Amino acid sequence: MLACLRPCRAVCSTAGPSGACVAGTHAAARRLPPLARPAACHAFHASAAAPSGSNKWSKIRHKKAANDSARGSFYGALSREIIACVRQHPTRSADAATNSRLGLLLRKARDMDVPKDKVQATLDKASRADGPDDKTLTFEALGPPPQGGTQPVAMIIECATDSPSRTHAKVKEHFNRAGARLSSTSHLFDRTGIIHLTPAEGAGFDEVFEEAVEAGAEDVRTYEDEHGEGIEVICSPSDLPELSAALGARHSVHSATSALIPSGPPLRFRAAPVDGEPAEEVDEDEEASGYVDEEDIERLDRLMENLEEEADCQRIWSNLDGWPAR
Protein backbone atom coordinates (compact mmCIF):
# COMPACT_ATOMS: atom_id res chain seq x y z
CA MET A 1 0.00 0.00 0.00
CA LEU A 2 1.40 3.37 -1.01
CA ALA A 3 1.54 6.11 1.64
CA CYS A 4 -0.25 9.37 1.04
CA LEU A 5 2.42 12.09 0.62
CA ARG A 6 0.23 15.24 0.97
CA PRO A 7 -0.57 16.80 4.33
CA CYS A 8 -3.86 15.61 5.71
CA ARG A 9 -3.93 16.54 9.41
CA ALA A 10 -7.37 18.10 9.00
CA VAL A 11 -8.75 14.78 7.67
CA CYS A 12 -6.64 11.93 8.88
CA SER A 13 -6.16 11.06 12.54
CA THR A 14 -3.08 8.93 11.78
CA ALA A 15 -0.97 11.64 10.12
CA GLY A 16 2.67 11.58 11.17
CA PRO A 17 4.92 14.46 12.25
CA SER A 18 5.53 15.55 8.67
CA GLY A 19 1.85 15.73 7.91
CA ALA A 20 1.94 12.61 5.66
CA CYS A 21 -0.43 9.77 6.27
CA VAL A 22 1.84 6.98 7.54
CA ALA A 23 -0.77 4.28 7.10
CA GLY A 24 -2.24 5.32 3.79
CA THR A 25 -5.46 6.11 5.57
CA HIS A 26 -6.22 9.15 3.39
CA ALA A 27 -6.06 7.13 0.19
CA ALA A 28 -8.12 4.40 1.70
CA ALA A 29 -10.66 6.83 3.09
CA ARG A 30 -11.54 8.05 -0.39
CA ARG A 31 -12.77 4.51 -1.19
CA LEU A 32 -14.91 4.27 1.97
CA PRO A 33 -18.59 5.20 2.05
CA PRO A 34 -19.28 8.67 3.53
CA LEU A 35 -20.37 7.38 6.95
CA ALA A 36 -17.22 5.29 7.31
CA ARG A 37 -14.74 8.11 6.57
CA PRO A 38 -12.74 9.55 9.47
CA ALA A 39 -14.35 12.66 10.92
CA ALA A 40 -12.64 16.01 10.38
CA CYS A 41 -10.83 17.51 13.38
CA HIS A 42 -12.35 20.74 14.73
CA ALA A 43 -11.22 23.08 17.48
CA PHE A 44 -13.54 23.09 20.47
CA HIS A 45 -14.03 24.76 23.87
CA ALA A 46 -14.52 22.90 27.11
CA SER A 47 -17.52 25.05 28.16
CA ALA A 48 -20.83 25.19 26.34
CA ALA A 49 -21.78 28.49 24.68
CA ALA A 50 -24.72 30.25 26.37
CA PRO A 51 -27.33 31.67 23.99
CA SER A 52 -27.17 35.46 23.90
CA GLY A 53 -29.82 37.17 26.02
CA SER A 54 -31.18 33.95 27.51
CA ASN A 55 -29.69 34.32 30.96
CA LYS A 56 -31.48 35.94 33.88
CA TRP A 57 -28.93 38.74 34.30
CA SER A 58 -29.51 39.95 30.72
CA LYS A 59 -33.17 40.62 31.49
CA ILE A 60 -32.40 42.20 34.86
CA ARG A 61 -29.73 44.41 33.32
CA HIS A 62 -32.06 45.85 30.67
CA LYS A 63 -34.84 46.42 33.20
CA LYS A 64 -32.42 48.05 35.63
CA ALA A 65 -31.08 50.34 32.89
CA ALA A 66 -34.61 51.51 32.06
CA ASN A 67 -35.40 52.16 35.75
CA ASP A 68 -32.11 54.01 36.27
CA SER A 69 -32.79 56.17 33.22
CA ALA A 70 -36.28 57.09 34.50
CA ARG A 71 -34.93 57.80 37.99
CA GLY A 72 -32.11 59.94 36.57
CA SER A 73 -34.55 61.91 34.45
CA PHE A 74 -36.80 62.50 37.48
CA TYR A 75 -33.97 63.64 39.73
CA GLY A 76 -32.57 65.89 36.99
CA ALA A 77 -35.90 67.75 36.83
CA LEU A 78 -36.22 67.80 40.63
CA SER A 79 -32.66 69.09 41.03
CA ARG A 80 -33.32 72.02 38.69
CA GLU A 81 -36.52 72.79 40.60
CA ILE A 82 -34.66 72.78 43.95
CA ILE A 83 -31.98 75.13 42.59
CA ALA A 84 -34.59 77.51 41.16
CA CYS A 85 -36.57 77.42 44.42
CA VAL A 86 -33.52 78.43 46.49
CA ARG A 87 -32.24 81.12 44.12
CA GLN A 88 -35.65 82.69 43.64
CA HIS A 89 -36.23 82.98 47.40
CA PRO A 90 -35.83 86.57 48.68
CA THR A 91 -32.98 85.56 51.02
CA ARG A 92 -31.73 82.64 48.89
CA SER A 93 -32.59 80.37 51.80
CA ALA A 94 -31.69 76.67 51.63
CA ASP A 95 -33.45 76.05 54.96
CA ALA A 96 -36.74 74.18 54.70
CA ALA A 97 -37.99 75.91 57.86
CA THR A 98 -38.00 79.32 56.14
CA ASN A 99 -38.59 78.15 52.57
CA SER A 100 -41.84 76.17 52.54
CA ARG A 101 -41.66 75.27 48.85
CA LEU A 102 -38.17 73.84 49.37
CA GLY A 103 -39.47 71.70 52.24
CA LEU A 104 -42.01 70.08 49.94
CA LEU A 105 -39.37 69.39 47.28
CA LEU A 106 -37.05 67.80 49.85
CA ARG A 107 -39.90 65.61 51.03
CA LYS A 108 -40.49 64.52 47.45
CA ALA A 109 -36.79 63.62 47.15
CA ARG A 110 -37.00 61.50 50.31
CA ASP A 111 -40.09 59.70 49.01
CA MET A 112 -38.16 58.82 45.85
CA ASP A 113 -35.15 57.57 47.87
CA VAL A 114 -32.78 60.15 46.39
CA PRO A 115 -29.38 59.81 48.18
CA LYS A 116 -28.76 62.46 50.84
CA ASP A 117 -25.35 63.36 49.41
CA LYS A 118 -26.93 64.22 46.05
CA VAL A 119 -29.57 66.37 47.71
CA GLN A 120 -26.94 68.18 49.78
CA ALA A 121 -24.75 68.75 46.72
CA THR A 122 -27.73 70.32 44.95
CA LEU A 123 -28.44 72.59 47.94
CA ASP A 124 -24.78 73.65 48.10
CA LYS A 125 -24.80 74.47 44.41
CA ALA A 126 -28.01 76.46 44.74
CA SER A 127 -26.86 78.53 47.73
CA ARG A 128 -23.44 79.52 46.33
CA ALA A 129 -23.29 83.30 46.02
CA ASP A 130 -21.24 83.13 42.84
CA GLY A 131 -23.61 80.73 41.13
CA PRO A 132 -25.50 81.92 38.07
CA ASP A 133 -29.12 82.90 38.59
CA ASP A 134 -31.48 80.60 36.72
CA LYS A 135 -34.03 82.40 34.60
CA THR A 136 -37.56 81.11 34.21
CA LEU A 137 -38.77 80.75 30.63
CA THR A 138 -42.38 80.07 29.71
CA PHE A 139 -43.48 78.65 26.35
CA GLU A 140 -47.08 78.49 25.17
CA ALA A 141 -47.67 75.78 22.62
CA LEU A 142 -50.02 73.38 20.88
CA GLY A 143 -49.01 69.73 20.95
CA PRO A 144 -48.51 67.37 17.99
CA PRO A 145 -51.40 67.12 15.51
CA PRO A 146 -53.85 64.46 16.72
CA GLN A 147 -53.74 61.07 15.01
CA GLY A 148 -57.00 59.69 16.37
CA GLY A 149 -58.17 62.62 18.48
CA THR A 150 -60.12 65.72 17.60
CA GLN A 151 -57.71 68.57 18.39
CA PRO A 152 -54.16 69.22 19.66
CA VAL A 153 -53.42 69.59 23.36
CA ALA A 154 -52.80 73.12 24.66
CA MET A 155 -49.67 73.37 26.82
CA ILE A 156 -47.73 75.86 28.93
CA ILE A 157 -44.13 74.78 29.50
CA GLU A 158 -42.00 76.22 32.32
CA CYS A 159 -38.19 75.94 32.15
CA ALA A 160 -35.47 77.12 34.54
CA THR A 161 -32.08 77.68 32.92
CA ASP A 162 -28.86 79.67 33.12
CA SER A 163 -28.71 79.78 29.31
CA PRO A 164 -31.99 81.01 27.80
CA SER A 165 -30.69 80.89 24.23
CA ARG A 166 -29.69 77.23 24.55
CA THR A 167 -33.00 76.26 26.15
CA HIS A 168 -35.00 78.17 23.52
CA ALA A 169 -33.12 76.37 20.73
CA LYS A 170 -33.68 72.95 22.35
CA VAL A 171 -37.40 73.58 22.84
CA LYS A 172 -37.83 74.58 19.19
CA GLU A 173 -35.80 71.55 18.07
CA HIS A 174 -38.01 69.07 19.93
CA PHE A 175 -41.17 70.90 18.89
CA ASN A 176 -40.16 70.56 15.25
CA ARG A 177 -39.42 66.85 15.65
CA ALA A 178 -42.75 66.16 17.34
CA GLY A 179 -44.83 68.41 15.09
CA ALA A 180 -45.74 70.75 17.97
CA ARG A 181 -45.72 74.53 17.53
CA LEU A 182 -45.58 77.70 19.59
CA SER A 183 -49.01 79.32 19.94
CA SER A 184 -50.87 81.50 22.43
CA THR A 185 -52.61 79.28 25.01
CA SER A 186 -52.51 81.25 28.30
CA HIS A 187 -56.14 82.32 27.85
CA LEU A 188 -57.15 78.67 28.26
CA PHE A 189 -55.80 78.43 31.83
CA ASP A 190 -56.34 79.95 35.28
CA ARG A 191 -53.62 80.01 37.95
CA THR A 192 -54.67 78.66 41.34
CA GLY A 193 -53.17 77.23 44.50
CA ILE A 194 -53.60 73.50 45.19
CA ILE A 195 -52.73 71.74 48.44
CA HIS A 196 -52.86 67.95 48.87
CA LEU A 197 -52.89 66.59 52.39
CA THR A 198 -53.78 63.66 54.62
CA PRO A 199 -55.79 64.52 57.73
CA ALA A 200 -54.21 64.02 61.13
CA GLU A 201 -55.15 60.90 63.03
CA GLY A 202 -58.68 61.25 64.31
CA ALA A 203 -59.53 64.18 62.04
CA GLY A 204 -62.14 63.89 59.31
CA PHE A 205 -63.10 65.78 56.18
CA ASP A 206 -65.50 68.14 57.98
CA GLU A 207 -62.81 69.21 60.43
CA VAL A 208 -60.27 69.88 57.68
CA PHE A 209 -62.93 71.74 55.70
CA GLU A 210 -63.64 74.13 58.57
CA GLU A 211 -59.94 74.76 59.26
CA ALA A 212 -59.16 75.40 55.58
CA VAL A 213 -62.08 77.75 54.96
CA GLU A 214 -61.26 79.77 58.09
CA ALA A 215 -57.66 80.08 56.85
CA GLY A 216 -58.77 81.41 53.43
CA ALA A 217 -59.45 78.34 51.23
CA GLU A 218 -61.84 78.70 48.31
CA ASP A 219 -62.82 75.04 48.04
CA VAL A 220 -62.11 71.72 49.76
CA ARG A 221 -62.76 68.29 48.24
CA THR A 222 -61.54 64.72 48.31
CA TYR A 223 -59.31 63.16 45.66
CA GLU A 224 -57.83 59.77 44.90
CA ASP A 225 -54.58 58.85 43.16
CA GLU A 226 -52.14 55.92 43.02
CA HIS A 227 -51.08 56.62 46.63
CA GLY A 228 -54.61 56.49 48.03
CA GLU A 229 -57.25 58.99 49.11
CA GLY A 230 -56.61 62.48 50.41
CA ILE A 231 -58.02 65.99 50.66
CA GLU A 232 -57.45 68.70 48.07
CA VAL A 233 -57.63 72.35 49.11
CA ILE A 234 -58.07 75.09 46.49
CA CYS A 235 -56.99 78.66 47.21
CA SER A 236 -55.62 81.83 45.65
CA PRO A 237 -51.91 81.56 44.70
CA SER A 238 -51.13 84.48 47.00
CA ASP A 239 -52.61 82.61 49.99
CA LEU A 240 -50.76 79.36 49.25
CA PRO A 241 -47.71 79.77 51.58
CA GLU A 242 -49.71 80.83 54.65
CA LEU A 243 -52.50 78.32 54.11
CA SER A 244 -50.13 75.37 53.58
CA ALA A 245 -48.19 76.35 56.71
CA ALA A 246 -51.41 76.62 58.77
CA LEU A 247 -52.72 73.23 57.63
CA GLY A 248 -49.27 71.62 57.84
CA ALA A 249 -49.04 72.50 61.55
CA ARG A 250 -51.47 69.65 62.24
CA HIS A 251 -52.04 67.64 59.08
CA SER A 252 -49.61 65.95 56.68
CA VAL A 253 -49.22 68.21 53.63
CA HIS A 254 -47.91 66.28 50.59
CA SER A 255 -47.73 69.13 48.10
CA ALA A 256 -48.55 72.82 47.80
CA THR A 257 -48.36 74.05 44.23
CA SER A 258 -49.30 77.12 42.25
CA ALA A 259 -50.89 75.35 39.30
CA LEU A 260 -52.42 76.20 35.96
CA ILE A 261 -55.76 74.52 35.40
CA PRO A 262 -58.01 74.65 32.31
CA SER A 263 -60.46 77.55 32.45
CA GLY A 264 -63.03 75.53 30.48
CA PRO A 265 -63.89 71.89 29.81
CA PRO A 266 -60.68 69.87 29.30
CA LEU A 267 -59.70 67.41 26.63
CA ARG A 268 -60.30 63.80 27.67
CA PHE A 269 -59.00 60.38 26.72
CA ARG A 270 -61.13 58.14 24.51
CA ALA A 271 -59.99 54.75 23.24
CA ALA A 272 -59.74 54.42 19.46
CA PRO A 273 -61.91 51.85 17.60
CA VAL A 274 -60.34 48.36 17.40
CA ASP A 275 -61.03 46.00 14.48
CA GLY A 276 -64.08 47.94 13.42
CA GLU A 277 -65.63 47.95 16.90
CA PRO A 278 -67.00 51.29 18.15
CA ALA A 279 -64.85 53.46 20.40
CA GLU A 280 -65.19 53.25 24.15
CA GLU A 281 -68.16 55.21 25.43
CA VAL A 282 -67.41 58.35 27.45
CA ASP A 283 -69.33 59.38 30.54
CA GLU A 284 -71.82 61.96 29.34
CA ASP A 285 -71.70 63.68 32.76
CA GLU A 286 -68.09 64.70 32.10
CA GLU A 287 -67.79 67.80 29.95
CA ALA A 288 -65.08 67.70 27.31
CA SER A 289 -63.83 70.12 24.69
CA GLY A 290 -62.45 67.23 22.62
CA TYR A 291 -60.77 63.84 22.79
CA VAL A 292 -57.37 62.20 22.30
CA ASP A 293 -56.45 58.53 21.95
CA GLU A 294 -53.58 56.37 23.19
CA GLU A 295 -51.31 57.15 20.24
CA ASP A 296 -51.66 60.89 20.89
CA ILE A 297 -50.70 60.42 24.54
CA GLU A 298 -47.64 58.35 23.61
CA ARG A 299 -46.39 61.16 21.38
CA LEU A 300 -46.96 63.69 24.16
CA ASP A 301 -45.03 61.48 26.61
CA ARG A 302 -42.04 61.32 24.24
CA LEU A 303 -42.09 65.10 23.81
CA MET A 304 -42.23 65.64 27.57
CA GLU A 305 -39.30 63.25 28.20
CA ASN A 306 -37.16 65.04 25.63
CA LEU A 307 -37.97 68.47 27.06
CA GLU A 308 -37.16 67.34 30.60
CA GLU A 309 -33.86 65.74 29.61
CA GLU A 310 -32.49 68.35 27.22
CA ALA A 311 -34.41 71.62 27.62
CA ASP A 312 -34.33 72.24 31.41
CA CYS A 313 -38.09 71.72 31.56
CA GLN A 314 -39.54 71.79 35.09
CA ARG A 315 -43.27 71.62 34.54
CA ILE A 316 -45.79 71.16 31.79
CA TRP A 317 -49.39 72.26 32.20
CA SER A 318 -52.00 71.07 29.73
CA ASN A 319 -55.74 71.10 29.10
CA LEU A 320 -55.74 67.28 28.79
CA ASP A 321 -57.37 65.74 31.85
CA GLY A 322 -54.83 63.64 33.78
CA TRP A 323 -51.76 64.55 31.69
CA PRO A 324 -48.96 64.88 32.62
CA ALA A 325 -49.43 62.30 35.37
CA ARG A 326 -46.65 63.79 37.50
Q: How many domains does the chain have?
A: 1
Give, to the nearest 10 degrees, the angle between helix 100-111 and helix 56-87. Answer: 170
What pLDDT shows up at residue 189? 96
Residue 7 lies in a domain: yes
Between CA 85 and CA 111 the distance in angstroms is 19
Residue 38 lies in a domain: yes
Residue 252 lies in a domain: no
What distance, in Å, lies between the first and last C-alpha atoms of the chain? 87
Residue 26 lies in a domain: yes
Residue 30 lies in a domain: yes
Residue 234 lies in a domain: no
Write out the residue range of the structural domain in which residue 38 sits.
Answer: 1-42
Q: How far is CA 60 from CA 65, 66, 73, 74, in A?
A: 8, 10, 20, 21
Q: What share of the chain is helix, strand, coil (3-state, %, to 5)?
A: 35, 20, 40
Residue 140 lies in a domain: no
Residue 121 lies in a domain: no
Encode the chain (326 residues) as per-residue pLDDT tens digits.
Answer: 444 444 444 444 444 454 445 444 444 445 555 554 455 544 444 444 444 444 444 444 444 444 454 555 667 777 877 887 787 776 777 888 777 778 878 888 888 788 888 888 888 888 776 556 678 899 999 999 988 778 899 999 998 888 899 999 999 999 999 999 999 999 999 999 999 899 999 999 999 999 999 999 999 999 887 667 899 999 999 998 899 889 989 998 887 888 899 999 999 988 766 665 555 555 544 688 889 988 899 999 999 989 988 888 888 999 999 898 75
Apex 105 CA angle, 191 and 110, nearest 5 = 145
Between CA 97 and CA 99 the distance in angstroms is 6
pTM here?
0.64
* Torsion, Cα of 180, 302, 256, 224 (10° steps): 110
